[in-house]
Structure 1
Amino acid sequence: MPTNYNFQEIWNQKNIEVPDIKEIKAKAEKYRKRQLLKDIGLIALLLFITIIVITIWIFVKFTFFTTKWGIVFMLIGLVSYTYLVYQNVTILKKVNTSASNQEYLLTMKKTEQQQIYMQTRGLSFYYLSLSLGFAIYFYELTLKMSWLGVAAVYGLTFLWCAISWFIIRPRQIRKQKEKISLVINSLEKLEESL
């Protein structure tokens, strides 16, 4: 039994939901502004900590050079991570809200790539530099302590580093990835529908 399909009729009956362009761009812009504020706040916090570390270096007189090297390693970590966050801010500032959907999508993907780089290599270097800096910095201070005090200082410091690395960092990465992926997926769906 031959079946005749009227493809034009089937196509006209097809119900396609076209996503609201303004709503998607508003969500993307909301994400961009929120991430920009978070990054600027992080830069301010990192610079504040850097100033505190420099102040300690200037006003506290240390006898061992290892303490100064520890401060240098901490400063290297702080400054390098501040620079990476600043690069993310410049990318987010360059997003043109009146740009076409393709340009907006490309900029958001570039932001995602920058965040991935920050979360892998940038944070790894930051934690390594800070951990090494703390280990060397505490050397002079722990010489005057008992073995129990030394174990407590180094143990608590590296326990905090481990908690930050294995618990806090993965949660932050997952949350950031979910947020930017939601924005990018919405923009990609919009691009496909158009």
Structure 2
Amino acid sequence: MSSNIDFKALWQQQEAMAKPDITEVIKKAKNLKHKTRNKLILLNIVLIATVLLYVFVPGFTSHTSLITTKAGGVLVIFAIVLFLAASNRLLVDLFSGKPEADTFAYLTALLSIRKKQEFIQTRIMNLYFLFLSAGMLLYMIEFVRKMNSVWGSVTYISLFGWMAIVYFYIKPRTIKKQRSELNAAIEKLEAINNQLIQTKDAE
């Protein structure tokens, strides 16, 4: 069976009472793609700015003497580059897809987006936080050594306490919301697709 279905023609054959609002479903799915894309672009800008700040702004590396500081900076940059490489693959899908041209292809694109998004949310994010934490630990050694024990402890507790909150609380909640929105859009499109296929088979 060909997957290239004339959805508009088939939809016009449905009884008026049986028609879900396909236009509204497509609109919501499209808006979700745009929102996800814009958030990812903003995050990319912030991460790139962080790398540029470390590499080009005097004071971040030029006045450091310990190898741990430079090693920590390298790990932080590696974590950011790793995330950027994975997220930019997702951005390609987020910029593509024209629902008004081929609804089935748009559904396929959303499934691809979900797969890549889940990969980023699990493996990539875990590696990102691993390298970021190790990098920050090494990077801060030189500066914490110049503090007394109390302020040094406060610095590390504050830094890694915040990272723990992000990893164990904010990240799971954000992922849950993103998955819920995307899964809802996919389920509605799948329902429409299945109904239209059944209509075609019944002809």
Task: Work out whether 1:51 is the aligned partner of 2:52.
Answer: yes
- 2:24 is matched with 23
Moved more, 52-61 or 88-97: 52-61
Mapping of residues 15-164 of structure 1, within 5 Å: 17-54=18-55, 55-56=57-58, 60-164=62-166
The amino acid that maps onto 2:182 is I
In 2: Cα distance, 1:53 partner to 1:111 partner: 32
Structure 1: gaps (5+ residues) = 1-13
Q: Secondary structure at the match of 2:18?
A: coil
- 1:177 is matched with 179
Q: Secondary structure at the match of 1:129?
A: helix
The amino acid that maps onto 1:173 is I
In 2: Cα distance, 1:178 partner to 1:100 partner: 24
In 2: Cα distance, 1:23 partner to 1:58 partner: 50
In 2: Cα distance, 1:15 partner to 1:47 partner: 51
In 1: Cα distance, 2:98 partner to 2:16 partner: 33
Shift of 1:140: 0.9
Moved more, 93-102 or 46-55: 93-102
The amino acid that maps onto 2:126 is S
- 2:5 is matched with none
Q: Percent identity?
A: 27
Q: Is the 8 A contact 1:57 1:71 kept in 2?
A: no
Shift of 1:16: 6.0
In 2: Cα distance, 1:31 partner to 1:184 partner: 11
In 2: Cα distance, 1:153 partner to 1:17 partner: 62
In 1: Cα distance, 2:173 partner to 2:36 partner: 16
Q: Is the 8 A contact 1:36 1:92 kept in 2?
A: yes
- 2:9 is matched with none
Aligned length: 181
In 1: Cα distance, 2:135 partner to 2:58 partner: 14
Structure with bigger gyration radius: 1
In 2: Cα distance, 1:34 partner to 1:100 partner: 21
In 1: Cα distance, 2:85 partner to 2:100 partner: 28
Moved more, 100-109 or 47-56: 47-56
In 1: Cα distance, 2:58 partner to 2:129 partner: 20
In 2: Cα distance, 1:87 partner to 1:19 partner: 33
Structure 2: gaps (5+ residues) = 1-14, 197-203
Q: Is the 8 A contact 2:54 2:61 kept in 1?
A: no
Q: Secondary structure at the match of 1:61?
A: coil
In 1: Cα distance, 2:147 partner to 2:28 partner: 55
Moved more, 141-150 or 111-120: 141-150
CA RMSD of aligned residues (A): 1.8
